[in-house]
């Protein structure tokens, strides 16, 4: 069973940066498509970014384009989400997950499973 663990969250001022990591144990993350999602209080879980295992192609939701970067660190067996120019509206619990289907939609959390426990990101002055 795929088990993922997120880390790297915290409190940061607007305009600041954080780097989240999605780690796996017992298997090679490079073989899996990975998605990052976030959920703010009272809101539905929304897709943030995805990275393909086949060709490394990436996807970013419109609210984070140009500010977030998803990447793989195969040496550490992690998928990272570099978040720059953070805004208060980025405040949420961030999760990583793997798709359940080959034809997945990065914007649809129902297409994903093996969710980690999440890591809290708070952007506030």
Average pLDDT of 53-69? Answer: 94
Tell me: the pLDDT tens digits for 7-25?
A: 999 999 999 999 999 999 7
Reduced to 3 states, what is the DSSP secondary structure of residue 111? Answer: helix
- Kindly tell me if the per-residue pLDDT of 1 is higher than 80: no
Average pLDDT of 62-83? Answer: 96
Query: Which pair of structure tokens corresponds to residue 72?
Result: 């793989």
Cα atoms found within 13 Å of the Cα of residue 13, Cβ hemisphere only: 1
Q: What is the mean pLDDT of the chain?
A: 94
Percentage of the chain beyond pLDDT 70 is 100
Spacing of C-alpha 80 from chain mean position:
7
């Amino acid at each position: 069973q795929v088990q993922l663990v997120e880390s790297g969250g915290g409190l940061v001022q607007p305009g600041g940066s954080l780097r989240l990591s999605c780690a796996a144990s017992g298997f090679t993350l490079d073989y899996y498509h990975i998605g990052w999602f976030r959920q703010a209080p009272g809101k539905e879980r929304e897709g943030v970014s995805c990275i393909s295992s086949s060709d490394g192609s990436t996807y970013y939701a419109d609210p984070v384009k140009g500010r977030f970067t998803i990447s793989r660190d195969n040496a550490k067996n992690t998928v990272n989400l570099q978040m720059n120019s953070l805004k208060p509206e980025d405040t949420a619990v961030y999760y990583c997950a793997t798709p359940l289907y080959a034809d997945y939609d990065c914007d649809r959390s129902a297409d994903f499973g093996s969710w980690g426990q999440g890591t809290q990101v708070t952007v506030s002055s």
